[in-house]
Amino acid sequence: MILARTKFFLLFSAVFLAMTVFAHAQSGRTNPRPTPVPGDDDPEKVFTEEIKMNVSAFDRDGAFFAGVKKEDLVINEDGVLHQATSVRRIPATVLIVLDTGGEDRQAKDFRTTREAAKALVKSLQPDDTVALMEYNDSAKILAEWTNDKQQLLTALTKNLAFGKRSRFVEALNLAAKFFDKSNLENRHLVLITDGLDSTSGDTERRAAIRNLLATDINVHILSYTKMEQAVVQQRVRSVQGGGTQRKELPPGADIPVQGQTKTYPVMTINLDRAMIRKIRERGENLARSEKALTELAESTNGLLFLPESRAEMIEKTESLAKNIDANYVLTYIPKRALSDVRTVEERSIEVTSRRAGLEVLAKRKLVVRPENR
């Protein structure tokens, strides 16, 4: 009896030990999960890289060309031809930036800047989305994105202010950030400015411009530089003096007889060399600014206007609005993958037409950074 119980106990212990070892072995095993097989209705995710830019389209008479298709366009990126993947016609997104500051304003007039902005707002299409920014001692947004033209005109009438400084670089950086906060497309930045900066140097300016080159924003400029340079030239002539004139005779005196009565030239001389140097430095700064503004517009598929009068500046807004509202948004897949970029590189892109009667304006530089791939 005791032997039977002993056999039963040993048999039970062996079975219990075997079950314990098996359970322990199972707790440390990672069971492979079956790879899910997508069903017929499940969407397939495919990663593609696209470059986006704007294209202005006109007919031979300068009117907007409707119905542009992707087959109508040829894209040249650094000498390599590409085909557009899409061409869309959508309303424009326009940020108007007003320069209302500066230590030495002569031709750059507060009223003209405001009236030019108003004229542009009125000329744009009703479904365009517009925002306003001003910069002087600092840069700030005056009106958020809206297509309510009356709201924009009211802001231009009531909210503008003067300033002694001109923070051009700060305005460019704020504009880029402001665009990035929205998902709006067909993006245009309009600068009404002389391009001078009271606080930032050439290094900061170049960095701000390269930042814009890394986007699809078109930069258009209504520049005061030509008018300001004309004022500088007048001031230089005035300060330096020069020229001759005959001495006025007192009333009743005889008229000088040629060859008998001597006349003497009158020279006006200004010995304030510091003033002359300051005026000339301003002229040089304006010339450099005009060159930088020209390169900025050309590199971002934008337009540059250099009016020679205040009336002309306001008139040019009609041509600018016409160009903005003739834009299509184009996309294409680059043959040199963006994901392969390891250092900052610059690509030159130009779009031409292969369709008879269609003329396009689309040329820009694109800065590609590894972190923005």
pLDDT per residue rounded down to tens, the chain (373 residues): 433 444 434 444 444 444 443 334 333 333 344 545 555 555 555 556 899 999 999 999 999 999 999 999 999 999 999 999 999 999 999 999 999 998 777 889 899 999 999 999 999 999 999 999 999 999 999 999 999 999 999 999 999 998 989 999 999 999 999 999 998 999 999 999 999 999 999 999 999 999 999 999 999 999 999 999 999 888 887 776 544 444 454 555 555 555 555 555 555 555 567 778 888 888 999 999 999 999 999 999 999 999 999 999 999 999 999 999 999 999 999 999 998 999 999 999 999 999 999 999 999 999 998 865 5
State how many domains the chain has.
2
We report the CATH number of the domain holding residue 55 as 2.60.40
- 360 and 298: one domain? no
| Domain assignment present for 9 | no
What is the domain extent for residue 232? 93-243+268-324
Tokens of 61: 């008479």
- Which of 325, 312, 373 lies closest to 347 in space, CA to CA? 373
Q: What pTM, to 2 d.p., does this model score?
A: 0.79
At 286, which amino acid appears?
Answer: L
Q: Do 143 and 152 contact (CB within 8 A), yes or no?
A: yes
CA 260 to chain centre: 69
Q: Is residue 112 part of a domain?
A: yes
- Indicate whether 232 and 294 sit together in one domain: yes
Helical H runs in the chain? 2-27, 110-123, 149-158, 168-180, 202-213, 225-240, 273-299, 310-324
Longest alpha-carbon distance in the chain:
167
Residue 272 and residue 215 share a domain: yes
Interatomic CA distance for residues 90 and 334, integer angstroms: 23
Give the C-alpha separation, 57 to 69, whole Å.
Answer: 11
